[in-house]
Amino acid sequence: MTKEKSSMKYTKKTAFEAADAFGIGAPNDTYAQYFIGQSFLKPLTEPEKAPVFLANVTFEPRCRNNWHIHHATKGGGQILICTAGEGWYQEEGKPAVSLKAGTVITIPAEVKHWHGAKKDSWFSHIAVECPGENCSNEWCEPVSDAEYEKLENAE
Amino acid sequence: MTKEKSSMKYTKKTAFEAADAFGIGAPNDTYAQYFIGQSFLKPLTEPEKAPVFLANVTFEPRCRNNWHIHHATKGGGQILICTAGEGWYQEEGKPAVSLKAGTVITIPAEVKHWHGAKKDSWFSHIAVECPGENCSNEWCEPVSDAEYEKLENAE
C-alpha cells in the first residue's frame, strides 16, 4: 500500500465530520482543563441502561489530553477504538503508537499515558470505560509542545 | 440527505473489506451452529489483558444469528458498535431496527433478540461483552426465512 493510500488524515472539520460515523458531539467542557486544544465528547451509551460506558472523543489537530492514570484495584482501565482520522497513544517510557481508524488500544489500569490527534489531522476514538473496583482517574502534567513536536518528527 | 447518500450497502466482499477498518478475521466456526449463513469473527482485545472483550463480527448478506438471550444476575448483556455495511437488530415483540456504521445498540441481559446483515449488504459490528455476574448465553430458534423476508419488505 502506498503512503498516500494508507493516510487517513483530515485537516478540515467538515470532511472529518463526514468520515466519523459516530458523531462529534459537544465541546468537552467538563474535561477541558486536562486537554491542550479543543476536544469534543459524544456519549454513545446511557449510564443507567448499559453496564459499560462508551463515548466518542474527538480531538482537533494538535489537541491531546494530559498525561493521566486510570486507577483501579481490580479491572478498570480503558479501551480505545479508533474511528476516524489519525492520532497518537503513548505510555510513559515507551515510543508513541500511531493510531488510525481500525486501531484498538487496551490501556491497563495504573499505566501513565496520553492520547490525542496528530499535528495535521482531526482524530476520533470511542473510549470504552472498563468496569473495575475502586476506579478513579489521576490527571498529571500536560504533554509539552517540545515532547509533542518530537513525535511528529519521528513518525 | 438523499436515499442514495444515506445507503451504506455493500454487495461485494472486496469493497466491504475496504470499508471495514476493523477487519473481517476468520470464519466464525465456533458459533456457526447458531447462525444462518456465513459469519466471521475478529477478536480485538486479548482476554487476559483487557477486562472487557471486544470482537468485530461480520455477516455476509442474509446472514443472521439465531434468537438468543444473554443471561446475567447483575450487569451483563452486550453493546453493538456498528462499523460497516447495513444490518438489523430485533428484540422479541418489537419492530426490527435498521443498523448502519455509527449505530450503537445496548442489549440488556435477559432480552431475547437477534442481529445480522440485510438481504443486500455485508454488515459488521463490534460486539462489546458487558461484564456481569453469572453470565451465560442461551441460543434459541433460528430467524426463519419468512420472518426475515418480512423485514426486508418493511424497510
ipTM score for this prediction: 0.93
Residue B35, φ and ψ in degrees, nearest 5: -125, 150
Q: Which residue stretches of B41-125 are H helix?
A: none
User: Number of Cβ pairs closer than 8 Å across A and B?
Assistant: 73
The closest of A76, A62, A74, A70 to A142, measured between CA atoms, is A62
The CATH number of residue A149's host domain is: 2.60.120.10
- Going from the C-alpha of A61 to that of each of A30, A56, A95, A117, the distances in angstroms are 20, 16, 20, 5
Q: Is residue A41 part of a domain?
A: yes
Q: Is residue A12 part of a domain?
A: no
The range of the structural domain enclosing residue A32 comes to 24-132+141-154
Q: How far apart are CA A50 and CA B30, in angstroms?
A: 27
Q: How far apart are CA A101 and CA A122, in angstroms?
A: 12
Q: For residue B104, give the 3-state DSSP assignment.
A: strand
- Going from the C-alpha of A76 to that of each of A9, A58, B66, B97, the distances in angstroms are 31, 22, 32, 32
Predicted confidence at residue A154, as pLDDT, reads: 63
Q: What is the mean pLDDT of residues B63-73?
A: 98
Q: Is residue A7 part of a domain?
A: no
Amino acid letter, residue B4: E
The alpha carbon dihedral of B51, B130, B141, B122 has a sign of negative
Hey, is the C-beta of B24 within 8 angstroms of any chain A C-beta?
no
Q: Which residue has the higher pLDDT, B53 or B155?
A: B53
Q: Is residue A9 part of a domain?
A: no
| Cell reading at B39 | 459469519
Hey, is the C-beta of A130 within 8 angstroms of any chain B C-beta?
yes
Structural domains of chain B, count: 1
Q: Is residue B54 part of a domain?
A: yes
Q: Is residue B3 part of a domain?
A: no
- The partner residues of B133 in beta bridges, in order of sequence, read B74
Hey, is the C-beta of B47 within 8 angstroms of any chain A C-beta?
no
Residue among A79, A123, A133, A135 with most chain B CBs within 10 A, to mutate: A79
pLDDT, tens digit, for every residue of A84-143? 999 999 999 999 999 999 999 999 999 999 999 999 999 999 999 999 999 999 999 999
Q: How far apart are CA B31 and CA B63, in angstroms?
A: 13
Considering chain A, what is the average pLDDT of its residues? 94
Residue of A nearest to B72 (CA): A51
Q: Is residue B2 part of a domain?
A: no
pLDDT, tens digit, for every residue of B106-134? 999 999 999 999 999 999 999 999 999 99
Chain B neighbors of A51, CB-CB under 8 A:
75-77, 130-132
8 Å CB contact of B81 and A45: no
Hey, is the C-beta of B111 within 8 angstroms of any chain A C-beta?
no
Hey, is the C-beta of A22 within 8 angstroms of any chain B C-beta?
yes
Predicted confidence at residue B1, as pLDDT, reads: 40
3-state helix/strand/coil string of B4-35:
HHHCCCCCCHHHHHHHCCCCCCEECHHHHHHE
pLDDT at B148 over 50: yes
Q: How far apart are CA A129 and CA A112, in angstroms?
A: 16
Q: Is residue A6 part of a domain?
A: no
